[in-house]
Amino acid sequence: MTLAVLSTGVLTTVQDRGRRGLAHLGVPRAGALDAPAAALANRLVGNHPDAAVLEVTLGGLSFRAGTGLWIAVTGAPAPVRVAGRARGVQRPEWVPAGAVVTLDPPAIGVRSYVAVSGGIAVPPVLGSRATDTLAWVGPPRVAPGDRLPLGGATEPRPLDTPPVRRPGELRLHPGPRADWFAPAALDRLTATTWRVEPASDRIGLRLAGPPLPRSREGELASEGMVLGAVQVPPSGQPIVFLADHPPTGGYPVIAVVEEADLWRCAQARPGEPIRFTTTG
């Protein structure tokens, strides 16, 4: 039971819920950038929450099913075709044995998630099947010609009303290094409409706007970094750390994004606006 990969677009990786608890060993968390979308895809095909899915950046994935199976596509709404026929997203779809599945580029969003019944059963590394694009821990990026093994067959669980997700501001928890910035820096961070930079990736969402002013010169000694940390390098342009972020860093962190809002970072395209608000 395998998927024969024909094309992969810009970047396709295997992802699950990530390898938590290993930052003290220098191992990033990894895992799906849009965690709610990946969880929904697994739920739709009846998979265990820990099952691995395919994270597809801006479409371009195609594969041939070696056996009949259920799939579900969530996240960025990439047009789906099975054997040349259009199929839906956010619902289970049956794929006959030998049929080719194709994801075209989505009109909005960046990352789509493909769950298949049984999950992608590549060998786990340090307890996870997630691909880390910073240190390349876990399986390599998916490439044309790969044959991806599948787990045991599962039965779909369609939802009557799939969740509706709307864009919004990213909620911030101020600190822990707010004292490294001028008093007006946090206000500037929340008052500015930032633009997503093309250099953004699974490591961090890079933003462009008026520089955030510092109150101190120099840099910190390297210290632990958490998911969602808003790190500010000397340029003053903030970076929101995402799933493949380094476990340590030496630039001060002005705030941390609420984890429940990070899926918006996963789906933000270059040039799109991002706004922040403080919690409480």
In this predicted structure, the answer to whether residue 192 has a pLDDT above a threshold of 70 is: yes
Enumerate residues 6+ apart whose C-beta is below 8 A from 172: 189, 190, 230, 255, 256, 257, 258, 276, 277, 278, 279
Query: What letter represents residue 117's amino acid?
Result: S
Question: Which residues, listed in sequence order, are joined to residue 50 by a DSSP beta bridge?
Answer: none
Largest interatomic CA distance in the chain: 62
* Domain ranges across the chain: 2-149, 170-278
Residue 253 is predicted with a pLDDT of 96
Give the tens place of pLDDT for each residue, 138-177.
999 999 999 999 998 888 988 877 777 878 899 999 989 9
Give the tens place of pLDDT for each residue, 48-95.
999 999 999 999 999 999 999 999 999 999 999 999 999 999 999 999
Residue with tokens 């969003």: 109
Residue 48 is predicted with a pLDDT of 95
CB atoms within 10 A of CB 124: 15
Cα 187 to Cα 209: distance, rounded to the nearest angstrom: 13
Token readout for 27 is 């191992």
Cα 247 to Cα 22: distance, rounded to the nearest angstrom: 9
pTM comes to 0.95
Cα 35 to Cα 18: distance, rounded to the nearest angstrom: 10
Confidence grade of residue 280 (pLDDT, cut at 50, 70, 90): low
Residue 216 is predicted with a pLDDT of 87
Tally DSSP H helices, then E strands, for the chain: 3, 21
CATH number assigned to the domain with residue range 170-278, chosen from the 4 options 2.40.100.10, 3.40.50.1220, 3.90.1300.10, 1.20.120.530: 2.40.100.10
CATH number assigned to the domain with residue range 2-149, chosen from the 4 options 3.30.70, 2.70.98, 2.60.120, 1.10.1740: 2.60.120
Q: What are phi and psi of 186, to 5 degrees?
A: -65, -40
The overall average pLDDT reported for the chain is 94
Helix or strand (DSSP H, E) at 263: helix 262-266
Range of weakest confidence among 116-120, 158-162, 199-203, 245-249: 158-162
In this predicted structure, the answer to whether residue 229 has a pLDDT above a threshold of 80 is: yes
Question: Which residues, listed in sequence order, are joined to residue 147 by a DSSP beta bridge?
Answer: 4
Confidence grade of residue 268 (pLDDT, cut at 50, 70, 90): very high
Question: Which residues, listed in sequence order, are joined to residue 239 by a DSSP beta bridge?
Answer: 206, 231
Confidence grade of residue 110 (pLDDT, cut at 50, 70, 90): very high
